[in-house]
Amino acid sequence: MSYTAGFAVMEVTVRGVLPIGDTTDNATYFILDTARSAIVGQVVLPRAVKRSLGVALTVKVPTTAGSLAIGTFDDGGNFEVASFLRVETPAVERPDGAVGSSGR
């Protein structure tokens, strides 16, 4: 059973360019609903890569999630935003044509 069973979800995209370096280990990056201070998703990525590497990953999060940030937690439990990654939410669909009263 999916962890999203029973919850309305939306797909967000995690994009960025990974840091260049010699480390070969991975890090877990958490997607945080900043309004609620709640973890709503996560991705595991290399801490660094030998050559420039862009990423674009789709992640499902609750539709109730507000403003989103991505990062890690330091040893003291403080959230640190990953400056090289961003979370893109889907664009809200807008109706076509004029909207509002006609002024007649």
Per-residue pLDDT at 24: 75
Do residues 40 and 33 lie in contact, with contact meaning Cβ atoms separated by under 8 Å? yes
Q: What is the mean pLDDT of the chain?
A: 85
Q: Residues 45-83: pLDDT tens digits?
A: 999 999 999 999 999 998 887 899 999 999 999 999 999
State the amino acid at position 60 in one-letter form: K
How many whole angstroms separate alpha carbon 49 and alpha carbon 95? Answer: 43
Q: What predicted TM-score, i.e. pTM, was given to this entire model?
A: 0.78
- d(Cα 86, Cα 71) in Å, to the nearest integer? 9
| Predicted confidence band of residue 104 (pLDDT cuts 50, 70, 90) | very low
d(CA 30, CA 85): 11
Dihedral sign from CA coordinates of 11, 16, 17, 18: negative
